[in-house]
Amino acid sequence: MAKHFFCSPSKSIHLKFREAPFDLLTDFLVNLNKRNKNNLKSLSKCSGNFKDKRLIEYIFLITKELRLDPLAGYQAIELLQRFMVKHLTDLLTTPTPPGAAADQPGSYEDAVFDKLKDKFPLIVFTCVQLASKLSLHSHIIDNNTAVRFLHSVGHSVSKQTVLESELMVLKGLEFRLNTTNPLTYVEILLEVLGHNESSIPVERLYQLCQHVLQFVSLQRTAIYNSLLVTTTQCVNPSKQQREKFVTVTEDCMLLGVGVIAVTTFILYVRKWEQVVGELSHITGISTRSISDFAHVTLMHIVRTSSPATST
């Protein structure tokens, strides 16, 4: 497993590869693969609903402002997704309380969403705060820091409110915070790749992988829509095809190999086939699937980077 070396909150965190024992590395990879498959088997209909571009960008900005490990941002995104699905399900399946207007079917649901809307910015921040406590490589966001930051962005809350929000999220997650995130998959896959192919400069790949993963996370909807069209060979995929495709959009292993493949194409195109073949061997994902993901992502990177063409 890649090792973190922490200097200070104001400095970037560096990873040192090629130091993990092979047995430990194998165990990590097997565990990640198992967790990924289990997650794909138990997806809810709301999977991915709280991975909106603006929301992810907001979380990334918070982690950057507070100088947190990038892992904390990705971990916060996963915590938020899990909590919000569970929280909304609980709220909307609770029997309508006495006194709610029976002749206005949508009134109770509307009241739930209105109340939640006011709390949502604090819930998002709470997920970042909890994620910071899971990372051993960056400073923890304590309640004093939390109050100061929230005040600076226009949310006047007390330390008691911050504490209550943290407890609410913890209870909603049943105190199970150890969820996997895409950056962890990228790191472990790079470590395995470096072990199997010593000629591949995984240290340099990792630097760009972080930017590519951030790009894919922010452009998630557009990239996966294009991948769906490519996979189905249908310009307007059916509802059934879209529902089935959720297992692709939530596949962290595919995302991990795809990000590494894109990065390799950009930095070391001559090693492209070698790396894609090795990634396929490591994960069991077909070279075709990895290539399709990389092609679609590269097309979106090019389009985003190119200046707008006047008509």
pLDDT of residue 138: 60
- Comparing 151 with 23, which gets the higher pLDDT? 151
Q: What is the dihedral of CA 194, 271, 299, 52, to 10 degrees?
A: 0
- 25-75 per-position pLDDT tens digit: 888 899 999 999 998 888 877 777 889 999 999 999 999 999 998 999 999
pLDDT of residue 8: 32
Q: How far is CA 243 from CA 93, 132, 247, 297, in A?
A: 23, 33, 8, 21
Is residue 144 predicted with pLDDT exceeding 80?
yes
Is residue 18 predicted with pLDDT exceeding 80?
no
Q: What number is the average pLDDT over the span 144-150?
A: 92
pLDDT of residue 5: 30
Is residue 304 predicted with pLDDT exceeding 80?
no
pLDDT of residue 1: 43
How many whole angstroms separate alpha carbon 81 and alpha carbon 83? Answer: 6
Would you give the DSSP letter of residue 16? E
pLDDT class for 97, splitting at 50, 70, 90? Answer: low
Least confident stretch, 41-45, 179-183, 287-291: 41-45
How many whole angstroms separate alpha carbon 237 and alpha carbon 106? Answer: 31
Q: What number is the average pLDDT over the span 268-284?
A: 95
Q: How far is CA 113 from the centre of its chain?
A: 24
8 A C-beta contact, residue 45 and residue 247: no
Is residue 23 predicted with pLDDT exceeding 90?
no
- List the domains of the chain with CATH numbers: 47-172 (1.10.472.10), 182-305 (no CATH)
Q: Count CB atoms within 10 A of the CB of residue 138.
A: 21
pLDDT of residue 137: 58
pLDDT of residue 224: 95
Is residue 188 predicted with pLDDT exceeding 70?
yes
pLDDT of residue 100: 52
Query: Which residue type sits at 73?
Result: G
Average pLDDT, the chain: 85
pLDDT class for 274, splitting at 50, 70, 90? Answer: very high
Q: What number is the average pLDDT over the span 114-129?
A: 89
Q: What number is the average pLDDT over the span 124-145?
A: 86
